[in-house]
Structure 1
Amino acid sequence: MIVQELNPVRLRSGAQRPAAAHPAPSARMPPPPRRSWKKIWLRVHLYVGLIGGGLFVLTSLTGSLLVFYKTIDEWLNPEQVIRTVGTDQPLSDIVAGAKTAHPDWSPPDTLIFPLHERDTFHAWFKDPASAPPKVRWHVVAVDPSTARPLSNREWGNFFVSFIYELHQELLLGKPGEIFVGILALFLLLSIGSGLYLWWPSPGKLRRALTFQTDGSLIRKHYDLHKLTGLVGAILLMLLALTGFYLEFPDAVTSVVQWFSPVRETGPEDQPQSEWQAGVPTILPEQAIAIARATFPDARPMWMGLPQHERDSYSVGLRQPEEIRQAGGQTEVWIDQYSGAVLRAQDWREFTGGETFLAWLFPLHNGEAFGLTGRWLILVAGLTPLPLYVTALRMWWLKQDAHRRRRES
């Protein structure tokens, strides 16, 4: 430090201090005025919007479609909805019926239960010819009342699955997931800088919240841009934050663990069955009955079937008032030979950190607040399009005006 390099004798004797150590108040540099900061953030906002705006629009529009992905899929593919409602067949027959679509493959990895009266079971098969990092999945829809397969589709090759891959990874695999996660941070930067630029001076709030119909064409585009941004800012920030978590769950979980414990839930942490030679495995419907006995008020949503001799059944359930509506956060792991409950995860016993993480996906797709929440997220996903169009139009009009002035 400069003070430490000064002569202490001179300082104690009252000699004048060098200006470099303690400048006089009049010599100190004033902080940059707000106008200068606005110029800096205007450039940041402009370049982030121009460079990333198209991708913001792409990911947000695809996200809006995915809010009602199941409804869209059933509308585009009527075979996913059964025509007549009857008595459900045993789960073992449902699994056997699904396996007829892939007789040479292992049993389905996961079985998704129907969400409504006319919905079907969906059995997910892992293609044995594929390998990480790009594992191919096939989804077989099975009629609950007949155990007959209704469709057999490869994930990524039908509309809603294509939209999902485009939204999650831009069809680029793992590098695409990383890119989309970083893109979420740039969206936050764009929203934050836009709010800073909009923030009105004292006494100018009314003008900042109005649309001037008698203004210039640039002014009209600006007013439309700012008002659209204000309407969607909070929800877009929410989507960006939750989207970052979905792309980088381990990074976010590590940060959350600084404040509250979070139990490990990766595949390597799943409890294993105690292998018993010659002992038959329990049936899927028996595993469901055990899980329901563990949580009597819960509704089974999905089950993971054992693929190897040490694997266990895993049953996902949804208890009343759970945040996650389509999947639930309650889970039971069951020994495939003895039927013993190896572990039970009760959402009511989550730590603060686990509860926080459990909220993020339901917030991202809006299901945390039911149908109203889904519609809000859908509308929020539409706002980047007019923001991008008005921004491009303003930029082009200003460039054209500059060109005209130079030529005149």
Structure 2
Amino acid sequence: MSILTLKNRRKLWLKVHLYLGLFAGAVFVVMGLTGSLLAFEYPLDEALNADLMTVSADDNKTIMPLDDIVAAGLKTVPANGKVLNIDFPRHQELAYALWFEQPSDNPTFPTRHQIFINPYTAKVTGQRLLIDFDHIWRDPFKDFILRLHYTLALGEKGMTIVGFIGIGLLFSVLTGLIVWWPNKGQFKKAITIKRHASVERFNFDLHKTVGFYSAFILLFAIASGVYLIFPDYGRGLVSVFSPVTPWASYQSEIPTGDKIPLSIKQITAITDARFPDGTYQFIVFPQSAQDVYLVGKRQADEVNQHHPYRQLWIDQYSGNILHTQDASTRTAGDVFDEWLYPLHTG
């Protein structure tokens, strides 16, 4: 009776694994192919948009003042545009990127644009639409692939669909391990491919063997993807084991006299005084009279190359540093959260 029960359970898990694999696996192919391209997203984007993004540089050229670079970009922003932030070049042959957004058909997701400015001449090299969340075919190739990867070109609803498909894929991998699990004394047979077997047996052995060896990589890649789709739930789960620092929100103190925000030069001077080392990655501009400057200046040893953990929130009028986030303030949960994106993207 116990043997029959075991066989019935195995058949049940086999069916679950089969149908999850047929549905979620087909979507996983799309996510896997797009994810592979995204491992090279920055070099790919620069190669496809060299006229916009790249500049000629040598060691004798001097970078123009940052205020001049920003001012050049601001002249190109349309009247209904809202300036968001400036991204610093990753190397000396790239332009600065000034981000702005414009209203779209979907008020939740305005379209986002970039203006590129040559750091050595403070002249605009061009601009482009970067993100139209509901019409991804308008995006540049890199962002089209990114949106396809985590929304399947279905907009906001697509993110939720991809998240639940990811949960289905987790169960598919886990049920595959259950079906694969060998009987006593059969472990070696379960992790090898039989020689001189029929095509059917070869395909079966290939599936179960490759599936076993790749299962743990797949489990992490899928689980981390689900975490990135549902970050609030993911951070809440991690917080059960170690606190995760909440996303910060601060406000500037509006002065009674002149309400003139500090210049970018003054903001970088304040940042450099607090953190002399590191590499600037972005400065987010205040979006209202009470908002603050947010500065990202990555430390050399940070694992996340794209999203710096070290950041400063600076009062736009007084220049007071309202909050700092760096390695000295990290919890174990913060370290886990910081590592997740680079491990997911490779």
Same fold at TM > 0.5: yes
CA contact (8 A) 2:284 2:293 kept: yes
Which position in structure 2 is the counterpart of 1:325? 305
Question: Which of residues 40, 49, 54 in structure 2 aligns to 1:81?
Answer: 54
Secondary structure in structure 2 of the residue aligned to 1:332 = strand
RMSD (CA atoms) = 2.0
Deviation at 1:175, TM superposition (A): 1.0
Higher gyration radius (CA): 1
Work out the number of aligned pairs and report it.
Answer: 335
Q: Which structure has more RCO (C-alpha within 8 Å, separation ≥ 6)?
A: 1
Q: Name the CA distance, whole Å, in 1 between partners of 2:17 and 2:126.
A: 47
Secondary structure in structure 2 of the residue aligned to 1:108 = strand
For residues 313 and 231 of structure 1, do their structure 2 counterparts lie closer, same or farther at Cα, with a shift above 3 Å needed? Answer: same
Which position in structure 2 is the counterpart of 1:346? 326
The answer as to 2:70 corresponding to 1:98 is no
Which position in structure 2 is the counterpart of 1:300? 280
Deviation at 1:231, TM superposition (A): 3.5
Q: Name the CA distance, whole Å, in 1 between partners of 2:24 and 2:147.
A: 19
**Superposed counterparts of 1:2-41, under 5 Å:** 30=2, 33-41=5-13
CA contact (8 A) 2:81 2:102 kept: no
Q: TM-score, normalised by structure 2?
A: 0.90
Which position in structure 1 is the counterpart of 2:123? 148
The answer as to 2:236 corresponding to 1:250 is no
Question: Which of residues 135, 141, 150 in structure 2 aligns to 1:159?
Answer: 141
Q: Name the CA distance, whole Å, in 1 between partners of 2:88 and 2:286.
A: 17
The answer as to 2:232 corresponding to 1:270 is no
Bigger mean CA deviation after superposition, 66-75 or 144-153: 144-153
Question: Which of residues 66, 74, 94 in structure 1 aligns to 2:38?
Answer: 66
The answer as to 2:271 corresponding to 1:291 is yes
Q: Name the CA distance, whole Å, in 1 between partners of 2:225 and 2:318.
A: 40
Q: Name the CA distance, whole Å, in 1 between partners of 2:125 and 2:7.
A: 64
For residues 120 and 34 of structure 1, do their structure 2 counterparts lie closer, same or farther at Cα, with a shift above 3 Å needed? Answer: farther
**Superposed counterparts of 1:351-362, under 5 Å:** 351-362=331-342
For residues 357 and 132 of structure 1, do their structure 2 counterparts lie closer, same or farther at Cα, with a shift above 3 Å needed? Answer: farther
Percentage of matched positions with identical amino acids: 37
Which position in structure 1 is the counterpart of 2:134? none
Deviation at 1:333, TM superposition (A): 0.8
Question: Which of residues 104, 119, 124 in structure 1 aligns to 2:99?
Answer: 124
Deviation at 1:131, TM superposition (A): 5.1
The one-letter amino acid paired with 1:299 is T
Secondary structure in structure 1 of the residue aligned to 2:282 = strand
CA contact (8 A) 1:107 1:305 kept: no
Which position in structure 2 is the counterpart of 1:11? none
Bigger mean CA deviation after superposition, 357-366 or 224-233: 224-233
Which position in structure 1 is the counterpart of 2:112? 137
For residues 151 and 208 of structure 1, do their structure 2 counterparts lie closer, same or farther at Cα, with a shift above 3 Å needed? Answer: farther
For residues 99 and 131 of structure 1, do their structure 2 counterparts lie closer, same or farther at Cα, with a shift above 3 Å needed? Answer: farther
For residues 293 and 189 of structure 1, do their structure 2 counterparts lie closer, same or farther at Cα, with a shift above 3 Å needed? Answer: same
Which position in structure 2 is the counterpart of 1:309? 289
Q: Name the CA distance, whole Å, in 2 between partners of 1:347 and 1:134.
A: 33
Bigger mean CA deviation after superposition, 171-180 or 293-302: 293-302
Deviation at 1:51, TM superposition (A): 1.5
CA contact (8 A) 1:42 1:197 kept: yes
Deviation at 1:129, TM superposition (A): 4.9
Which position in structure 1 is the counterpart of 2:216? 234
The one-letter amino acid paired with 1:137 is R
**Superposed counterparts of 1:46-65, under 5 Å:** 46-65=18-37
The answer as to 2:343 corresponding to 1:363 is yes
What does the per-residue CA deviation read over 1:114-170, in whole Å, with 9 as the maximum and x for residues that have no partner? 112212212211114565322210122222111222231112421001111111111
Q: Which runs of 5+ in 2 are unaligned?
A: 132-138
Q: Which runs of 5+ in 1 are unaligned?
A: 1-28, 367-408
Q: Name the CA distance, whole Å, in 2 between partners of 1:329 and 1:142.
A: 26
Q: Name the CA distance, whole Å, in 2 between partners of 1:53 and 1:196.
A: 17
Structure 1's consecutive aligned runs of 4 or more residues displaced over 4 angstroms after TM superposition are 29-32
